[in-house]
Structure 1
Amino acid sequence: MVDLRPGRVARVDLTRRTVETTEERDFYRYLGGRGFGVRELMLRLPAGIDPLSEENILVFAAGSLTGTAFPGSSRIALVTKNLLSGGISTSNGGGDLGPRMRQAGFDALVVTGRSKTPCWILLKDGAVEIRDASGLWGQSVSRTAEMVKEIAGDPRAETASIGIAGERLAAISCVMIGEAHALAWGGSGAIMGSKNLKAVAASGREPVVASDRRAFLEESRRYSWVLRSSSASAAISEGGTHGMAGVGGWSGRVPTSVRNLQEEFWEAEKSARVNESAYRPMETGRTSCWNCPLACLHLYGSERDGEKVEVEGMHANSVRGLGSNLDMDDPLALLEAHRLCNDSGLDVDGVAAALGWAMECYDRGIIGPDDTDGLELRWGDSEAILSLIRRIAERTGFGRLLGEGVREASRVTGRGSERYAMHVKGVGLNEQGVRSHKAWGLGMAVSARGGGHLNGSPQTENRQIPAQVGRWLFGNDQAGTPGSYEGKAKLVAWYEVYKAIIDSVGLCYFTAGWYDPVLADIAPIAGGLRAFGRPDLTKERVWETGRWIVEAEKAFNTVHAGFGREDDALPDRVMEEPLTFGPYKGAVMERESFERMLDEYYAERGWDARTGRQTKEGLAAIGAHDIAEYLEKGGLDGKDQDEADAANI
């Protein structure tokens, strides 16, 4: 029998203040990271629980390649029940937390229960400690990171912490790795705050070593060679995500969101004030995540209260969401808004969607000064925008309502404001190209976690790959044509599986085929996994596991949130209001064509087109009998956990 490498998992119960360490074959069986996290929630989370209850689970899982010599292997996943949608929440972040966790001797951390008092968790040199956080509570993200490193006695330690937004349970709060890497989506900051858990930190120096070092290094070198040939990766390295995808992007034709998704292109003079080149004079340096050759993280110098500060950014979603989406073209104010979200532990995308809704409703007279604490919410007003971000983080005044997320804020407000709430499955939509790029929009609509493009929206349209490349890689001449609906459902289905694999093994999507199709072959990844210690993980098996992850997330959403076809939808605005400006003028997501794409997507998945849900036959065809059984039971019956534990150890 082949000896299969197990994963080492720390299980912390904050209610009982207990720590258990187990070795589990399931970690690699589901590729680690996102795959392991989704499997954990399926096995252990009963249907019907409140995301803020102590029963909810937080799974911090490094990827199966995280912390190794494989290029871009920095990532860690955070999986939990989504506070905004009620379904699955999967986040993926860079920095050094995943590598440090593995160097400390752990592949994953599973947190349950609720501490009576503020606490933090330290993983260090093979041991796990639950520590008092009374001195950390109320501190900013950046100060928390500094203090934890001092207490841990290791300046190389990495943290995942919440700011005041998470402490005060803002639904659009997030968890921050270090000072600038977000584990966002789904209210993860509030979920961590509800457990009185201020931070998780990892400190260790034990190398992450493959079973067959020579073979592993060969696969890593082969992948590095392909990565160096990628023009997209070179451009990301030069301009960061801001230069590639922010306000016009690499080609000048990359769409954005303007004034709450009313348009997709911003006026040229406004774009010029906050594009990547406008920030170059402020650049003080560059940095990178673990073992990444791109170094796409640009550092900028700014001033706050008369003091010089260094800010990591700007990322494309901040420029889009806090810039063009709010019509704010003041570069220093935009940088400060980005920094403020990070240091308060707020999800930039959730903030952008909530503020965009508020400003449009104010502009249309739906809400007024009586609703907004007397603030005049004029498009582009940087003082009002910064004030609202602070109020959201502090949960004061109008900020308390906005902090509940755009769907809930519009529901409470009523008065027709619901039409201007841009969201998918309750998760705020801070997006680009939803009308003009058809596969991009479809990927957002069917996203299991809701609200964004990072699950299955293909970059082929933004990259505008030539017809022959689309034919070679995907069998689709139109893969790079934004306005074509042809074959886009199959393309989205492919990208969903691919992205599930990348998120699970721990690779950054900018060093993988999600961003540049030249890197889309998973053979080097499978080869790396086999050399690392799992000879059972063939290329075919890895792809099958990626498919299983997509199906498992869908099933979780069915059981926990009751989602069906009606939830795989986009805001009415993008179906009914054509663009009036820019290179895609006149574009709209035609409702009939969208529904046809959705039919094709369900057919590709083997799901019921009428309900948008999985079928026994479809699941049986891919061997996912465990998911079929999970759906049949409607979640857990209690004994599943014991049986799973016995089979896994």
Structure 2
Amino acid sequence: MENKTGRIARINLTTGKVENENSTDYYKWLGGRGYGVKVIFNEVKKETDPLSEDSKIVIAAGCFTGTSIPGSSRINIISKNVLNNGISYSSGGGDFAPALKKAGFDALIIEGKAEKPVYLYVSDGRILIKDAAGVWGKTTWDTEDEIRTELKNDKLKIAAIGPAGENLSKVACVIIDKAHAAAWGGCGAVMGSKNLKAVVANDANDYEISMFDSNKFDKECKRYKWILSASVPASNLKRVGTHGTAGAGGLTGKAPTSVRNSLDEYWDPEKNEKVVEKSYKQYEKKRVTCFNCPIACLHSYEMEYNGEIVEGVGMHANSVRGFSSNWDVDDPAAVFKAHTLCNKYGLDVDGTSSTIAWAIECFESGIIDTNDTFGAQLKWGNADEFLKLIEDMAYRRGFGEILSEGVFKASQIIGRNSIENTMQVKGVGINEQSLRTHKAWSLGIAISTRGSGHVSAAPQTEKRGIPSEIGEWLFDCPEAGIPTSYKGKGKLVAWYEIYKAIVDSIGICYFNAGWYEFTLADISYYAEFYNALTGMNMSNEEMWDIGERIVNLEKAINTVYAGFTREDDYLPKRIMEIPVSDGPYKGELMEREKYDEMLEEYYDAHGWDTATGLQKPETLKRLELEEVISFLSN
């Protein structure tokens, strides 16, 4: 049989030309992240500025996106990373990705730069480049409303940038359906640099996902749904969302969290109690879900802040942690206000939180003063000032002009050794919990190819406290569930890194996959789905090899384009020097020598050089990546 091909549109905004392509690479790389990374590897040069006309951005649904698999909602946005010139990929939920498929396309490759602001309208197998002058300068929320009004269709699915993306803030993101962020690598600024305000998908079309064996696919899907329905972690997410399971303090309220720019991981329990999920219950209007997801992890809240009614959807764990404990703010309404501002302006929560936290610490320690901050009094807990800074970052006003560059570049602009106060890896800001205490989790954040972030390779095994027998059976790591143990954690992180590359590519939400519910981490589910979909006969091992290839492509791009070495896989020094002050993990920190051992085990598990972290030719040959060998040598 012929290989199944993906439906790709290549849009050149400079010329206004749209070309449709059928790509075997789409299914070869599983779609989504894998396909996008391959396009960037093939088509974007080292010297290309991520914000230049020559740069490209790929918006790709996964090969399973829009099917009956629970959580098959994900879109990936892939480009060069604005913060470090390496690779960037970002997964977003909502209903946009399935709508893109129903509108006739699996992926979009966007290149060039429009002469004036535009948006793309995708419908019935065609793409129109439409004038966006009326929505340029508007928030993501207003943009969605006005485009739906203009096109007389209130069911359109929209991925848009806000003022932050238009003003090329390097922590600008793309917001989908007002609540779902594709947040990493400054992808919102990449769209802004192309004068691209939004991509609009009309799902009222007849384009269906062709299925080679629908009976087999449905049978596998029924089995998958059964396990998800019986999952305790999934039921916890359904009950309290990530706000409850992983917000400041976690389910118990005692989990380590980022406190005052990660100077500590123990927050005053009285403050913590004010921002846990149960404290927000009185403000909850409903729960919100993404396409075909039974979990509905998103909260819709309505509250009052300084006499203003604030409402919106979202409040995942990173927003709660980033705008509460990381800034020492215990006002639940202020935390929610910060979250909604980021969604409206199109700012990445982690980049915003880490950059402002750095500025607060610099102010508190006397490195900067009101002459630098344009009069702002940046004291821990001073929520009103922080909310103003969010707006200033979006519009590049006052001190926000510097902060909009992201924490690493901002520290370089300020100087005065302020880089010592940055929480960043590979130039990307960190807003994370448990960095000192949960060793595999921490390593997974440090080695992420896109820079920071726990949804690249950080496992949930430690937070779940899995029994040693399960750790040994599944991961050959009996101590996988012991947070403070370093043993076997390097190979555990390498396993999850490959697994997540596959999950991002096929287009399933991590919460519906094997991150929380380890029973679903069996790769055979995905191989069976893939074969039923395509008519291929892919083995588990062959699918795993694709995940490895994706990680290795990203690693190679970072080595050549960003110049990253082993030193770029380390956490900030404070994580290894300042212990947790109190609580169940009092005195815990990351020990440098043991971290080195973990890191070398991680490299070895990938088949990379344990001393340098660089890729070995024999590993690349095994993965049939001879082109990467040439890429690295040239």
TM above 0.5, yes or no, is: yes
SS in 1 for 2:82: coil
The answer to whether the 8 Å contact 1:341/1:347 transfers is yes
Q: Quick one: distance in 2 between partners of 1:576 and 1:589?
A: 8
Map 1:148-547 to 2 at 5 A: 148-205=147-204, 206=206, 207-303=208-304, 308-547=309-548
Change in Cα spacing, 1:307 to 1:363, as seen in structure 2 (3 Å) is closer
Q: How far apart are 1:265 and its partner, in Å?
A: 2.2
Match of 1:639 in 2: none
Aligned pair 1:67/2:46, yes or no? no
Match of 1:646 in 2: none
Give the TM-score normalised by structure 1. Answer: 0.96
Change in Cα spacing, 1:586 to 1:306, as seen in structure 2 (3 Å) is closer
Q: Quick one: distance in 2 between partners of 1:194 and 1:123?
A: 21
Q: How far apart are 1:475 and its partner, in Å?
A: 1.5
The answer to whether the 8 Å contact 1:88/1:448 transfers is yes
Q: Which runs of 5 or more residues in structure 1 are unaligned?
A: 634-649
Match of 1:77 in 2: 76
Q: Quick one: distance in 2 between partners of 1:70 and 1:565?
A: 38
Q: Look up the equivalent residue of 1:295 and give its one-letter code.
A: A
SS in 2 for 1:221: helix
Q: Look up the equivalent residue of 2:430 and give its one-letter code.
A: L
Map 1:41-190 to 2 at 5 A: 41-190=40-189
Structure 1, 207-216 or 285-294: larger mean CA deviation: 207-216
Percent sequence identity is: 49
Match of 2:603 in 1: 602
Per-residue CA deviations over 1:153-172 (Å, capped at 9, x if unaligned) read: 33221111110011011111
Match of 1:645 in 2: none
The answer to whether the 8 Å contact 1:162/1:345 transfers is yes
Change in Cα spacing, 1:176 to 1:534, as seen in structure 2 (3 Å) is farther
Per-residue CA deviations over 1:555-606 (Å, capped at 9, x if unaligned) read: 1111211111111111011011111122111111111111111111111112
Q: Look up the equivalent residue of 2:172 and give its one-letter code.
A: S
Give the TM-score normalised by structure 2. Answer: 0.98
Match of 2:573 in 1: 572
Map 1:606-621 to 2 at 5 A: 606-621=607-622
Q: How far apart are 1:101 and its partner, in Å?
A: 0.3
Q: How far apart are 1:147 and its partner, in Å?
A: 1.6
Q: How far apart are 1:618 and its partner, in Å?
A: 2.1
Q: How far apart are 1:309 and its partner, in Å?
A: 4.6
The answer to whether the 8 Å contact 2:117/2:133 transfers is yes
Q: Quick one: distance in 1 between partners of 2:28 and 2:145?
A: 36
Match of 2:4 in 1: 5
The answer to whether the 8 Å contact 2:523/2:540 transfers is yes
Q: Look up the equivalent residue of 1:327 and give its one-letter code.
A: D
Q: How far apart are 1:259 and its partner, in Å?
A: 0.4
Change in Cα spacing, 1:304 to 1:583, as seen in structure 2 (3 Å) is closer
Per-residue CA deviations over 1:304-361 (Å, capped at 9, x if unaligned) read: 7866453112210001111100000101111111000110000010000011101111
SS in 2 for 1:134: coil
Per-residue CA deviations over 1:510-562 (Å, capped at 9, x if unaligned) read: 01112221221121211111111241433221111011101110011112111
SS in 2 for 1:233: helix
SS in 1 for 2:371: coil
The answer to whether the 8 Å contact 2:213/2:535 transfers is no
Q: Quick one: distance in 2 between partners of 1:596 and 1:475?
A: 17
Q: Which runs of 5 or more residues in structure 2 are unaligned?
A: none
The answer to whether the 8 Å contact 2:319/2:339 transfers is yes
Q: Quick one: distance in 2 between partners of 1:187 and 1:557?
A: 16
Match of 1:643 in 2: none
Q: Quick one: distance in 1 between partners of 2:148 and 2:107?
A: 20
Match of 1:642 in 2: none
- Equivalenced residue count is 632
Q: How far apart are 1:623 and its partner, in Å?
A: 2.8
Per-residue CA deviations over 1:407-427 (Å, capped at 9, x if unaligned) read: 111111121211110000000
The answer to whether the 8 Å contact 1:84/1:405 transfers is yes
Q: Look up the equivalent residue of 1:556 and give its one-letter code.
A: I
Match of 2:14 in 1: 15
Per-residue CA deviations over 1:221-269 (Å, capped at 9, x if unaligned) read: 1110111111000000110101000112123343210000011121110
Per-residue CA deviations over 1:494-513 (Å, capped at 9, x if unaligned) read: 00000000000000000111
Q: Look up the equivalent residue of 1:56 and give its one-letter code.
A: S
Change in Cα spacing, 1:547 to 1:165, as seen in structure 2 (3 Å) is same
Q: Look up the equivalent residue of 1:197 and give its one-letter code.
A: L
The answer to whether the 8 Å contact 2:265/2:581 transfers is no
Change in Cα spacing, 1:59 to 1:534, as seen in structure 2 (3 Å) is farther
Q: Look up the equivalent residue of 1:262 and give its one-letter code.
A: L
The answer to whether the 8 Å contact 1:28/1:534 transfers is no
Please tell me the root mean square deviation across aligned C-alpha atoms, in Å.
1.3
Q: Look up the equivalent residue of 1:458 and give its one-letter code.
A: P
Q: Look up the equivalent residue of 2:226 and give its one-letter code.
A: W
Q: Quick one: distance in 1 between partners of 2:79 and 2:423?
A: 23
SS in 1 for 2:457: coil
SS in 2 for 1:354: helix
Q: Quick one: distance in 2 between partners of 1:533 and 1:616?
A: 32
Q: Look up the equivalent residue of 1:141 and give its one-letter code.
A: T
SS in 1 for 2:127: strand
Q: Quick one: distance in 1 between partners of 2:576 and 2:309?
A: 46
Structure 1, 579-588 or 82-91: larger mean CA deviation: 579-588
The answer to whether the 8 Å contact 2:367/2:416 transfers is yes
SS in 1 for 2:380: coil
Q: How far apart are 1:209 and its partner, in Å?
A: 4.0
Q: Quick one: distance in 2 between partners of 1:323 and 1:627?
A: 43
Q: Look up the equivalent residue of 2:480 and give its one-letter code.
A: A
Change in Cα spacing, 1:143 to 1:231, as seen in structure 2 (3 Å) is same
Match of 1:638 in 2: none
Structure 1, 348-357 or 249-258: larger mean CA deviation: 249-258
The answer to whether the 8 Å contact 1:300/1:310 transfers is yes
Q: How far apart are 1:302 and its partner, in Å?
A: 2.5
Q: Quick one: distance in 2 between partners of 1:62 and 1:152?
A: 24
Match of 1:39 in 2: 38
The answer to whether the 8 Å contact 1:260/1:353 transfers is yes
Q: Quick one: distance in 2 between partners of 1:255 and 1:527?
A: 39
Q: Quick one: distance in 2 between partners of 1:285 and 1:238?
A: 12
Q: Quick one: distance in 2 between partners of 1:217 and 1:23?
A: 26
The answer to whether the 8 Å contact 1:264/1:582 transfers is no
Q: Quick one: distance in 1 between partners of 2:316 and 2:536?
A: 38
Q: Quick one: distance in 2 between partners of 1:595 and 1:534?
A: 44
SS in 2 for 1:570: coil
Q: Look up the equivalent residue of 2:79 and give its one-letter code.
A: T
SS in 2 for 1:300: strand
Change in Cα spacing, 1:14 to 1:304, as seen in structure 2 (3 Å) is farther
The answer to whether the 8 Å contact 1:122/1:200 transfers is yes
Query: What stretches of structure 1 move > 6 A for 4+ residues in a row?
Result: none
SS in 1 for 2:376: coil
Q: Look up the equivalent residue of 1:539 and give its one-letter code.
A: N
Q: How far apart are 1:179 and its partner, in Å?
A: 0.5
Q: Look up the equivalent residue of 2:123 and give its one-letter code.
A: K
Q: Look up the equivalent residue of 1:494 and give its one-letter code.
A: W
